Amino acid sequence: MLLTEEMIQEKVAALAQAIDRDYSGRVPVLVGVLTGATIFMADLIRKLQIPVEMEFMAVSSYGAGTESTGVVRILKDLNSEVTGRDLIIVEDIVDSGLTLAYLQSLLRARDPASLRTCVLLDKAERRETDVALDYIGFTIPNAFVIGYGLDYGGLYRQLPFVGILDPSAI
């Protein structure tokens, strides 16, 4: 067990408060990154007071392994135009940062009014590229984690907490 359900829910509420404060009077588009960010997104938007729109993108990532390939491919794009909109990328975890760096450049190219990133888990010591993170839930150690949307081989996403996967289970 790394982060309990209670710790996560408290943190998500704090992140929502910060977003409420920063985006007062605006209607940002939250862009969740499938599939890992679905649980975080669902909890986050329900704690927000400001009106928001919700979109999802899917990019290729780890498959069943635990190491980043650095290869990022769009599997599902946004449903609407985002030019001139305030965008907030909602990510479950940033590891090497390669996925996020790619997403940020892709969305920036669509001329949004602003672009920020909200990430629940930051494995800061694993970073391989410079990416800006505006809202960070927890900085975590370098371990493969599961739960609260994060999977291993498609499993464990439903856990309400975040745990470190026992290497013997890999």
Which residues are designated catalytic? Answer: 95
User: Which residues are 3's β-sheet partners?
Assistant: 162
Residues that bind ligand 5GP (CB under 6 A): 33, 36, 61-62, 68, 91-100, 144-146, 150-152
Instruction: Transcribe 43-106 into DSSP letters.
Output: HHHHH--S--EEEEEEE---TTSSS------EEE--SS--TTSEEEEEEEEESSSHHHHHHHHH
Instruction: Give min distance, CB of 38 to ligand 5GP, in A.
Output: 11
User: Tokens for 71?
Assistant: 């290869």
Residue 51 or residue 167: which is nearer to ligand 5GP going by CB? 167
Give dist(CA 20, CA 26) in Å, integer.
9
Smallest CA-to-CA distance from 93 within 156, 149, 46, 170 is with 149
Tell the residue number behind the tokens 């498959």, with chain if given. 63
Give dist(CA 4, CA 60) in Å, integer.
28
Residue 97 or residue 112: which is nearer to ligand 5GP going by CB? 97
Instruction: Give min distance, CB of 61 to ligand 5GP, in A.
Output: 4
Instruction: Give min distance, CB of 25 to ligand 5GP, in A.
Output: 31
Residue 86 or residue 95: which is nearer to ligand 5GP going by CB? 95
Instruction: Give min distance, CB of 98 to ligand 5GP, in A.
Output: 4
Residue 23 or residue 103: which is nearer to ligand 5GP going by CB? 103
